[in-house]
Amino acid sequence: MTDLTALFTDLVRLETRLYNVIDARLKAEHDLPLGQFEFLRFVAAHGTTRVYDLAREMAITVGATSKAVDRLESAGRVRRTANPSDRRSSLVELTPAGADVLAAATPTVEAELQTWVGSAPALEQLATSLSMLRRRAELDHRTDRHHSSNTGS
């Protein structure tokens, strides 16, 4: 029988160590923290997105997301505009500089991930299982840091 607490500990420690090594390399080579890379990647995949949608994806508060978008905007990597269908909300899109740094940083992230997890046995099965577990957690309001508040920045 699998020790679920040990499994949880392994997942958390692996995530922490991978995050740290990838973050350090991105900062050194691209002047881009991993958290900002993740934001840029989400925005690129969606074309234009709301701050609220970024917050839900990253599982952080809208306030923290808004501050992160402010930093990306100050760096010239995203542009924030008013949402024409909801004045309380803003839309975020990549700038050409954001697209460029994302394109340059993506192979760096992929190389690190290949080094650290690319050779794991049963990788496809692990990916499928983690994706299913993540989706299940995302559907449960108890895992949502801002489920009791928020109207939609």
pLDDT digits (tens, 9 = 90+) for 23-71: 999 999 999 999 999 999 999 999 999 999 999 999 999 999 999 999 9
The b/e string for 108-142 (b: 16+ C-beta within 10 A; e otherwise) is bbeebeeeeeeeeeeeeeeeeeeeeeeeeeeeeee
pTM: 0.85
pLDDT in tens, 107-153: 999 999 999 998 888 888 989 999 999 899 988 888 876 544 443 44
